[in-house]
Structure 1
Amino acid sequence: MKVLFTCVGKSDPLTIFINEKVYDAAFLHIARKFQPEKIYFYMSQEICELDDLDNRYEKSIKLLNQHLNTNIEIHKEKRPNLIEVQRFDEFYDDFETIIKQILDENGKSVEILCNVSSGTPAMKATLQILASLSKYKIIPIQVTDPTKGKSNIVRLEGYDLDFYWELNEDNHNYEDRTYLSKNNKFNFKIQKELMINLINSYDYEAAYNLASNYKHRIDKGLLNLLKFALNRYKLDSEVILNDYNRFLLPYQEDDKAKLFEYGLLLKLKKEKGEIVDFLRGLTPFLYTVCQWILVKKFDLDLTKYCDIDDKGIMHLTRKKLEVNNEGKAILKILDNSFKGYRNSFLSEKQMLTILYEKLDDDSELCLGLRVLDNLRKKKRNIASHQITCIREDNLISDLNKSMDDYIDAIKTVLFCLGFDTQNNWDSYEKMNKKIIQQLNTLR
């Protein structure tokens, strides 16, 4: 749906030149071109007086309706006390109120055409600014002089509209003189650049919230894509694995997707400089990886040797380990490492102990696990139990390794488990590129 919001100038509705040529003035020409369902006239004291004199503005639209077989509705916003028409401050709040009224009456998706060729310079500038800053679809339109400035306008206090209507050149030799001002794109362009920066910084929540403010200008598919990116970053696998955009995920099987997406998230934590969050996230990663290796590589499911307490926590117990030869072999490894194993909740500690015994010491998988395990032992408790800031310099000085070394270790472990890290390690960057490509198509 289209509506036209227009200030009314003294040259409206028909412009009469000294060469006796008559043409549409601005609002009439816009109405002829775009045929909006409604027109909202904004009238100062002087225009109200002319309107009361002969109803020329409403009458001109009725003549246009007859000519085009349209049914444009008329709404008059009269301001009989508005005298200081050159003052910018007189209009901004009033125009905002009328725009809100138009949205309330016609729905938030309405396309609002704004005539920025009628009225005083202050009125026209105010409408340009409102269009530029609005999150709704407000389009400023200019109308060029049909004589290109070669002829002067005749000012008449009153005139026979029916007579001049018959002489109107636009009724007989119509030539489109409207021009869609590009200034309304200025603010949206700024917001697009901000969205792109947020996406490249992996701040999908801020990007989605910003885009949601422009949902009447942004394609629903793009908003859904941003929401998908946000849910992906939140590791909401139940949602993203059933989302239309799931083709952007390297893996769509539940267990593979959860593990690989978690590894990618740790990589993003490093990219964003969130080292404390990276350290806190390391233990769940190691826990899941260890379970994966034990089950997939050694066909060993430790959960069958566990008791589950009333909180759902699994405890690896001596009693259950002693029931068969496999369990006894595991218990022997744990006894040697812990100097007599005592029942404890199942954690990455027991699983890593078992894996170190089963894996070749110089294998890439074992070396990668040891690098991550050493970081967990030295820094994870500090990150989890203290209010602290950990910088990469601390890791380099204390452990002689950088964040890149730890990301490489995660990548190596996943590669050893059969994940295609060569082609999928930049999966988020590929997703970002797709989002940004769609953003750049918006005008």
Structure 2
Amino acid sequence: MHQKILFTPVGGTDPISATNCFDGAILHICRHYQPDKVIMYMSKEMLVNQEKDDRYRYCLNKLCELQNRKMECEIIERRELTNVHEFDFYYEDFQKIIHGIYGTMDETDELLLNVSSGTPAMKSGLLVLQTMEEYPAKLIQVATPERRINEHHYKDYDVFTLWELDEDNQPGADNRCSEIACPSLQKLKKEEVIKKHILSYDYRAALTVADTMGKQDTQKYRGYLELAEKRLLLDISEVDKLAKKLEFDCIPVKASSERMLFEYALGMQIKLKNGEYVDFIRAITPILVDLFELVLKVQCKIDINNYCKWITKRDGTKLRRWDMEKLRGTEIEKVLNEAFSGSFNQNGDVYSIHIKALIEYFSTDAQLKELICNLRLTEEKIRNTAAHDIVSVTEITIKNRTGFSADKIMQMIQKLFIYTGIKIKKEYWDSYDQMNQAILQKMELIEAWAHCIL
């Protein structure tokens, strides 16, 4: 059918303002959108005006003559409607009416809703209804010529003279119509869900929700969610690509090897915040090996790579193992053999317990050695259980088995970073929260609902 249908309450400045001789909202929308049908919703007061001189249909018919076209006019009478401020009444009444209108339309038709005419309760009723129901309709707003609130004058209203004096009939008159891009309730709900996922560091879930929305709705922040997800996955190369594209720098530690180690520790911190204790405990062993090794290198000037070899497996992966030839006759060999009573495997894998023994022997820092000992003890007492057994790991489990709370373990790891020589400021440990706030700012989650209603 390809019809345009305008549903509109009727307000005090319709059809033409007696104050300034410009179109009221209904006439102005019809002038510029040229609907095929206008459905006018009239309260008792507006019906009284209509019955005086047929002013609304008169002006619409005169406009059609001017534009050389035809337009159907329908009036919905609400003669009993005198309490024009009652929002609930309009919401329910408009819902029934608009559902009825859609029942007469096909997919080629278009519905226009005038949100500039009528009482504040009527306008709000239409806005809220559109937001709740998400009709495929256009919300049309009409600015006043003075860009301020209209004054209403009904006394001695002369519709015939006003039509002749109507400034909008002049060639080149401004089009004061605008379409409101009011956010749907579904969009607002989804953005709130995304926000909650961001604050719990679940960027994959946030992306999943974002991808159920239109690209235009998420274009300002989707790239940042993707960057955050790649960051948590330690996909450094993708993070760098996205950071360059977005001009967004959220990584505090820049040097490649140091950066990976620190980002891994930040990931552990997130697991702890989310109560993912099993994953937190399982993550201890890899970071302790790397941290202990770096501490040994910085504090004791010993690089264990000088005593190791790399073995390439069939699948292409590489394993680092002690090299018997490189160890032979060195003080390192002596310390390791003594520490493990001759059971040290000179061709075996490098473990944190080996590096711990070297730090304890070569370091003179009592606090460092105590820290190393406590972390290694924690790993020994609970890590294997979490890694190999089907068990429940809770805050209480960790405390009972290690003597330390999970928070205390994380604090010890953070303290150990001080001995690595990596320049880490205290605020770096909050860099994920800082990144989250930056993403939320990109989402512009500020009073969207209130802005729409106003």
Over 3 Å counting, the alpha-carbon distance change for 1:388 and 1:41 in structure 2 is farther
Question: Is 1:283–1:348's contact at 8 Å kept on the other side of the alignment?
Answer: yes
Which deviates more from structure 2 when the two are superposed, residues 233-242 or residues 346-355? 346-355
The answer to whether 1:397 aligns with 2:400 is yes
Give the structure-1-normalised TM-score.
0.67
Contact kept in structure 2, 1:16 and 1:22, CA below 8 Å: no
Mapping of residues 81-96 of structure 1, within 5 Å: 88=95, 91=98
Task: Go from structure 1 to structure 2 and tell me whether the alpha carbon gap of 1:166 and 1:240 turns closer, same or farther (over 3 Å shift).
Answer: same
Superposed displacement of residue 408, structure 1? 1.0
- The answer to whether the aligner puts 1:316 opposite 2:321 as a matched pair is yes
The count of corresponding residues between Structure 1 and Structure 2 is 398
How much does 1:368 deviate? 2.8
| Aligned partners of 2:16 and 2:24 also within 8 Å | no
Cα separation, partners in 2 of 1:25 and 1:209, compared to 1, 3 Å: farther
Residues 140 and 197 of structure 1: is their aligned pair in 2 closer, same or farther, counting only changes over 3 Å?
farther
> How far apart, CA to CA, are the structure 2 residues paired with 1:354 and 1:208?
46
Compared CA separation, residues 340 and 135, structure 1 to 2 (3 A): farther
Q: How does 1:362-401 map to 2 (within 5 A)?
A: 362-364=366-368, 366-401=369-404
**Could you tell me whether the CA contact under 8 Å between 2:203 and 2:228 is conserved in 1?**
yes
Q: 1:286 is matched with which residue?
A: 288
- Report the equivalent of 2:238: 239
Cα gap change, 1:123 to 1:265, in 2 (>3 Å):
same
Q: Which residue of 1 aligns with 2:429?
A: 425
The amino acid across from 1:141 in the alignment is Q
CA contact (8 A) 1:96 1:130 kept: no
Q: CA deviation at 1:282?
A: 1.3
Q: Alpha-carbon deviation of 1:196?
A: 3.8
CA shift, 1:315, in A, is 5.3
Task: Name stretches of at least 5 consecutive residues in structure 2 with no aligned partner.
Answer: 42-56, 77-91, 449-454
1:247-266 equivalence runs, <5 A = 247-266=249-268
CA deviation map 1:90-142 (0-9, x unaligned): 64598699999799xxxxxxxx98533579x9999466433457599975637
Question: Hey, what's the Cα distance between the residues in 2 that align with 1:129 and 1:426?
Answer: 42
Aligned residue identity for 1:238: S
Q: Which residue of 2 aligns with 1:268?
A: 270
Which secondary structure state, in structure 1, belongs to the residue aligned with residue 304 of structure 2?
Answer: coil
One-letter code of the match for 1:257?
R
Question: 5 Å matches for 1:28-177?
Answer: 28-30=27-29, 60=64, 63=67, 88=95, 91=98, 114-116=113-115, 125=125, 128-131=128-131, 141=141, 148-151=151-154, 166-171=164-169
Code of the aligned partner of 2:223:
N
User: What SS is found at the alignment partner of 1:430?
Assistant: helix
Give the Å deviation of 1:198.
3.2
1:324 Cα shift? 5.5
Shift of 1:385: 2.2
Are 1:227 and 2:226 an aligned pair? yes
Match of 2:87 in 1: none
Q: In structure 1, how many angstroms separate the alpha carbons of the residues matched to 2:20 and 2:425?
A: 73
Q: Deviations over 1:60-103 (max 9, x none)?
A: 5984xx9xxxxxxx9x9x9x9x9xx9573564598699999799
AA in 1 matched with 2:443: L
Contact 1:263 1:285 in 2 (8 A): yes
SS in structure 1 opposite 2:393? coil
Normalised TM-score (structure 2): 0.66
User: How far apart are 1:411 and its partner, in Å?
Assistant: 0.7
Q: Structure 1 pair 24/276, CA: closer, same or farther in 2 (3 Å)?
A: same
- The answer to whether structure 1 residue 200 and structure 2 residue 199 are counterparts is yes
Distance in 1 between the 2:191 and 2:96 partners?
Answer: 29
Structure 2: distance between partners of 1:334 and 1:58: 102
Q: Structure 2 CA distance, aligned partners of 1:97 and 1:340?
A: 88
8 Å CA contact 2:94, 2:126 repeated in 1: no
Query: Is 1:305 matched with 2:295?
Result: no
In structure 2, C-alpha distance between the alignment counterparts of 1:183 and 1:140, rounded to whole Å: 11
Per-residue CA deviation, residues 406-426 of structure 1 (Å, 9 max, x unaligned), is 111111111211231424122
Q: Which moved more, 1:428-437 or 1:342-351?
A: 342-351
CA RMSD across the alignment? 5.3
Aligned to 2:356: 352
Quote how far apart the aligned CAs of 1:298 are.
1.7
Deviation at 1:226, TM superposition (A): 2.7
Aligned residue number for residue 438 of structure 2: 434
1:89–1:270: structure 2 CA closer, same or farther, 3 Å change rule? Answer: same
Change in 2 beyond 3 A, CA 1:321/1:330:
farther
Helix, strand or coil at the partner of 2:311: strand
In structure 2, the CA distance between the partners of 1:94 and 1:208, relative to structure 1 (3 Å rule), is farther
